[in-house]
Structure 1
Amino acid sequence: MLTNKQIKLINSLHSKKGRSENELFLVEGEKGIQEVLDSNYELEFLVINADFQHLFSSNSLPIYFVSKEEITKLSTLTINQYGLAVVHCKASSSLSPLDDKVLVLDGVRDPGNLGTIIRVCDWYGIKQIVLSNDCTEFYNPKVISATMGSFKRVDCLYADLTAFFRTNPDHVIVAADLSGDNLHEFTFPPKVFIVMGSESHGIRDDVSAMIQQRITIPRFGEAESLNVAISTGIILDHLRRN
């Protein structure tokens, strides 16, 4: 049976402050839990719907089986009748060695977008993402949920982007920009940072000043813009076609 202390801990992990203080985060739903169980993340304990108790009979982790109503109360998700895992945060990655192809995000604050971008990177085999310090938090429950388990396969580093670029001069800095060259006619350099800005503010001036090449996804219709996660997927698809 869950103690009041454990319930209080789970509730605290709904906030960034609670995750930072406890160095723990939540993984929610069946897909996420299956993925984190098959990872090198350290788990504190599981809270699982009692209807699924037979699936965990041989598991050595501390597991608490509760009603689906209690799962709903504890979860950050609107719909979650499976369970949740309390998981230890990892130490910040240094991205060393640095891959040849790295995605860079400047000011992406929407958790759903970041989670989807991580999932897209996993699909296209991009294993490293560098994020500006004001991007949304990697361990935000909405980010983790949107990755559908891909969070365990993609390393993220939060950094001052201008300083990061200066310390890694071998990579060409290529950015998505409405005034850029046609993506369909562009060939990516062997070592590249692909920079994506936020939908509302774009790429900030100090980062923009360091960009070496700009690309754009050609528009054939009347839409004013594309979602940053969708744009990332299109660009990474072209990257892999190269």
Structure 2
Amino acid sequence: MLTNKQIKLINSLHSKKGRLENELFLVEGEKGIQEVLDSSYEVEFLVINVDFQHLFSATSVPTFFLSKDEITKLSTLTINQYGLAVVRSKSSNEITPLDDVVLILDGVRDPGNLGTIIRICDWYGIKQIVCSNDSTEFYNPKVISATMGSFKRVECMYVDLQDFLLSNPSHSIIGADLAGENLHHYQFPQKVFIVMGSESHGIRPEVSKLIQQRITIPRFGEAESLNVAISTGIILDHFRRS
């Protein structure tokens, strides 16, 4: 049976402050739990719907079985019919060595967008994302849920982007920009940082001035803009084609 201390811990992980102080985060739902159990992440304990007790008889992770309603009360999700995992977070201070292709996110603050971008990167085999310090937190439960388990295969680092880009001159820096070169005609460099800005503000000026080439997704209709996650998917698809 869960103790009051464990319940308090789970509730604290709903906030960024609690996640940072405890160095823990929540993984919720069947897909995420299955993925994290088959990863290098350290799972502290599980809270699982009692109806699925038979699926966890062989697990070595401490597991507590509760009703669906009890789990939903502990969850950040509106409805959670499966369970949640309390997981030890990893440091996001450094990614080394850098891959030839790294996605750069400047001020992407919507958790759903970041989670979807992580999932898209996993689909296209991009393993590293570098975020500005004001981008949304990797371990936000909404981010983790939106990745559908891809968080375990994609590294994410938070930095001052201007310093980071200046410190890594071996990579070309390209940025998504409405005034850029038509993506359909663009040939990507072998070693490249692909910079995506926020949907509201785009790429901030201090980062924009470091961009060496600009690309745009050609528009055929009347929409003013594309969602940053959709844009990332289109750009990465063309990158893989080239």
Q: TM-score, normalised by structure 1?
A: 0.99
SS of corresponding position for 1:81: coil
Tell me the CA shift for residue 127 of structure 1: 0.2
Query: What CA distance in whole angstroms lies between the structure 1 residues aligned with 2:194 and 2:131?
Result: 11
User: Deviation per CA, 1:46-99, whole angstroms, max 9, x where unpaired?
Assistant: 000000000001111100000000011000011211000000001225221110
SS of corresponding position for 1:181: strand
Amino acid across the alignment from 2:146: A
Tell me the CA shift for residue 156 of structure 1: 0.6
Contact 1:172 1:212 in 2 (8 A): yes
What is the Cα-based RMSD across aligned positions, in Å?
0.6
Query: What CA distance in whole angstroms lies between the structure 2 residues aligned with 1:117 and 1:152?
Result: 14
The corresponding residue for 2:11 is: 11
Query: What CA distance in whole angstroms lies between the structure 2 residues aligned with 1:58 and 1:188?
Result: 48
Query: What CA distance in whole angstroms lies between the structure 2 residues aligned with 1:19 and 1:122?
Result: 24
Amino acid across the alignment from 1:42: E
Tell me, which stretches of 5 or more residues in structure 1 are unaligned?
none
Query: What CA distance in whole angstroms lies between the structure 1 residues aligned with 2:77 and 2:120?
Result: 21
Contact 1:174 1:192 in 2 (8 A): yes
Moved over 6 A (4+): none
Q: Is 1:129 aligned with 2:129?
A: yes
Query: What CA distance in whole angstroms lies between the structure 2 residues aligned with 1:84 and 1:9?
Result: 13
SS of corresponding position for 1:70: helix
SS of corresponding position for 1:130: strand
Tell me, which stretches of 5 or more residues in structure 2 are unaligned?
none
Contact 1:93 1:155 in 2 (8 A): no
User: Deviation per CA, 1:139-194, whole angstroms, max 9, x where unpaired?
Assistant: 00000000000000000110011110111001010000000000000000011000
The corresponding residue for 2:111 is: 111
SS of corresponding position for 2:237: helix
Query: What CA distance in whole angstroms lies between the structure 2 residues aligned with 1:188 and 1:53?
Result: 50
Q: TM-score, normalised by structure 2?
A: 0.99
User: Deviation per CA, 1:179-233, whole angstroms, max 9, x where unpaired?
Assistant: 0000000000011000000000111010001000000000011111100000000
The corresponding residue for 1:139 is: 139
The corresponding residue for 1:201 is: 201
SS of corresponding position for 1:210: coil
The corresponding residue for 2:72 is: 72
**Superposed counterparts of 1:63-102, under 5 Å:** 63-92=63-92, 94-102=94-102
Contact 1:48 1:84 in 2 (8 A): yes
Query: What CA distance in whole angstroms lies between the structure 2 residues aligned with 1:46 and 1:93?
Result: 27
**Superposed counterparts of 1:171-182, under 5 Å:** 171-182=171-182
Q: Is 1:35 aligned with 2:35?
A: yes
The total of aligned residue pairs comes to 242
SS of corresponding position for 1:131: strand
Amino acid across the alignment from 2:192: V
The corresponding residue for 2:236 is: 236
SS of corresponding position for 1:126: coil
Q: Is 1:54 aligned with 2:54?
A: yes
SS of corresponding position for 2:164: helix
Query: What CA distance in whole angstroms lies between the structure 1 residues aligned with 2:92 and 2:230?
Result: 27
Query: What CA distance in whole angstroms lies between the structure 2 residues aligned with 1:32 and 1:228?
Result: 23
User: Deviation per CA, 1:78-122, whole angstroms, max 9, x where unpaired?
Assistant: 121100000000122522111000000000000000000000000
Percent identity for Structure 1 against Structure 2: 81
SS of corresponding position for 1:33: helix
**Superposed counterparts of 1:205-224, under 5 Å:** 205-224=205-224
The corresponding residue for 1:153 is: 153
Query: What CA distance in whole angstroms lies between the structure 1 residues aligned with 2:9 and 2:94?
Result: 29
